[in-house]
Chain A
Amino acid sequence: MNPFALHGFSFLFFYIGLGVVTLVALRYWFRISEPAPSDMPRFNDPYLIAYLRGGEEEAIRVTTISLADRGLLVFEGDQLKRASNDRDLAQRDIERAVLQAFAKPASGSAALTDKGARRACEAYKKALIKTGLMAGPAVYSKRLVSVGVAAVILMGTAGYKVQLALSQGRHNVGFLIMLALLFAAILIGVWRMRRTGAGDAAVADMKQLFKRLKDRAKTLKSGGQTNELAMLLGVFGLTALSASAFPMIDRIYPTPRADSGSSCSSSSSCSSSCGGGCGGGGCGG
């Protein structure tokens, strides 16, 4: 069957199908051609994880909440303010930068656009590009070839069909041109994706490893000293925490969140070193 012999909606459906298949194939190609790094960064920094998952603003959000949770940022009315002049209490550059952003009382979202805080994220960007979890110039250049091939397929198909239609005296090509432009925009978006395939996998793997903790997020205490809260936020974002347990987050960033329940559905982590073996002798293991 010659698809160019199709007319009207029949061809549009064919073109949509072609576009979807091309985009899926492109994503798959990215995933297999952007291999896992040989040297993973250490994921003991919640802001690094947040940056990988959601970019600068997400890293700054997690930092702000972590600082507020630790009492280094305090509320003054509805605004946040640095609690102490001692910036040494902050452990990382991004924490010091965010504290500086709140040297004067400001709304919680003020730090999101603070130049110092955004500059502090640069180190994360460099580290993640270096380890191959985020796309850098080399990855973008490499992607350009495959995106170019996809663009030739999609734009070429649309262009040829438009030319064919016009030569046959049919002018109902508006939808096709709109679809072609939409796919062009999506292709640019796919080309510009921040994370590599390995980066996507790392985020998914971290979510899997932290799933049990997310399930019992209600039990986390505010003001903890061990960074568990920041790690959870780094991996899952603000939606990981219930508004009732952490009202402070709603005051800083009023966003809708779902209360998370507790469950023990993960077979991989519900069992213990006893396995099924706890019995009369205790765990014994």
Chain B
Amino acid sequence: MEAAVDDPLGAFVRDRVAGGEPDRVAGGEPDRVAGGEPDRVGLGWRGDLAAGIFAHLDRIDLVELIADDYFKADAKTLRPLQLLSSQVPLTLHGVAMGLAGSEPVDDARLLAMGRLIDALKPESWSEHLAFVRSGGFEIGHLAAPPRRESNVAAAIANIERATRVIAAAPRLENIATLVEPPGSPLSEPAWTGTILDGAGAPMLLDLHNLYANARNTGQSPEALLAAMPLARVQGVHLSGGHWIDEPAMSGRTAGQRLLDDHVHDVPEDVFGLLAVLAARVPQPLEVIIERDGAYPDFDVLLGQVDAARAALARGRAHRHPATLKAAA
């Protein structure tokens, strides 16, 4: 019971949502569209990129921070991030809550995320639709759970709990997987859409993850994109990857799989998907380019920021009649 005196999570929730229901980030409803907010493009914050980001604040609309890096940070450590948040809008990105796991989400992580949000006042926060632990065992990476009706309810419960504690719904990100999760009667779009609808949460659509999943499962990336719950997309991730060899296994010949690694440039195809997305949805999009290593000259990253803007502009210029009507 959250009212218990020694329940820190309960006390935290009461402090944050006192006097009313928690805010819920709208899932791409038309009223948001009517605001006429522009699309925005930014970068993931990495210390290596600090000078480039600061020097080009006029070309970077927002910055995404990896929340988990700062869950144990004290006030002194957070102070520089508060300076950063005075310079450019922030969004927080979590990586290890495991919201799509069948186990209840870890209270300590929710508390840490909530405190970080209180300290940095980001515009939004996001997490992955992944499972990362089970039975107390950390599996060490973002794994795609079996896409079944039976784990949809658990994921929704986790998201709703996170929404109550944080007082804002997370944007939920589709993850990359080299293989279709075994035991998955539901398609990725159907499973994702059911969870997002059930939890009333917005989506962070990682277009390289989508592209990789499509290529690895023999689907058309455009068709997979079209099947996703696009009305709920508020954020977009762009990144790169590389092809890895797939050994011959029982019944399968050797081939290749696309690995999402965040250390390569965003492929042209993925910018193409961004243009398609921009043509299909009326709501403003926040696009983050993720780069985690093998950093190129910063002007290369700025070029990708510009390419994302160009793709958005291309898409908006060819907006689907249905989305124009919705926007009106």
* A binding-site residues for B, Cβ under 8 Å: 40, 42-44, 46, 201-202, 204-206, 208-213, 216, 221, 224-232, 235, 266-285
Contact = CB atoms under 8 A, between A and B. Distances in A.
A201 B83 CA distance: 9
B55 A212 contact: no
B259 A282 contact: yes
B219 to A, nearest CB: 16
B47 A269 contact: yes
B57 A284 contact: no
B319 interface: no
A228 B316 CA distance: 33
A283 B143 contact: no
B122 to A, nearest CB: 15
Contacts of A206: 80, 83
B58 A231 contact: no
Interface string B53-94: 011111000001010111001000101111110110000010
Given A272-B262, A280-B141, A283-B292, A228 B55 contact: yes
Q: List the 6 closest pairs (A to B, CB-CB), nearest first.
A: A279-B141, A212-B47, A269-B47, A272-B292, A275-B95, A231-B51
B209 interface: yes
A216 B52 CA distance: 14
B69 A274 contact: no
6 contacts: A212-B50, A224-B298, A273-B290, A276-B140, A284-B130, A285-B209
Interface stretch (B13-21, B173-181, B223-231, B274-282): B173-181
A279 B66 contact: no
Interface residues of B, number: 63
B83 A209 contact: yes
Which label, helix, strand, loop or mixed, suits the secondary structure of the B interface? Answer: mixed
B52 A282 contact: no
Contacts of A226: 52, 55-56, 297-299, 302
Contacts of A273: 44, 64, 66, 93, 95, 262, 290, 292
A274 B66 CA distance: 9
A216 B48 contact: yes
A285 B45 CA distance: 15
A201 B93 contact: no
Contact of A267 (B44, B54, B69, B95): B69
A279 B179 CA distance: 13
B82 to A, nearest CB: 8
Given A209-B83, A226-B52, A284 B69 contact: no
Interface string B276-297: 0000000000000010110001
Given A206-B83, A228-B298, A282 B51 contact: no
B162 interface: no
B260 interface: yes
Contact of B51 (A210, A267, A268, A285): A210
Contacts of A204: 80
Contacts of B70: 268
Contacts of B128: 284-285
Contact of B297 (A40, A201, A221, A232): A221
A186 to B, nearest CB: 27
A163 B46 CA distance: 62
B96 interface: yes
A63 to B, nearest CB: 14
A209 B86 contact: no
Contacts of B261: 278, 282-283
Nearest to A44: B57
A22 B195 CA distance: 62
B130 A282 contact: no
B209 A284 contact: yes
A212 B68 contact: no
A281 B177 contact: yes
Given A43-B57, A273-B292, A279-B142, 12 more contacts: A208-B80, A209-B47, A212-B50, A213-B49, A231-B51, A269-B47, A273-B290, A274-B141, A279-B140, A284-B175, A284-B177, A285-B206
A231 B56 CA distance: 10
Contact of A274 (B51, B177, B292): B292
A281 B178 contact: yes
A268 B79 CA distance: 13
B299 A225 contact: yes
Nearest to A202: B83
Nearest to B130: A284
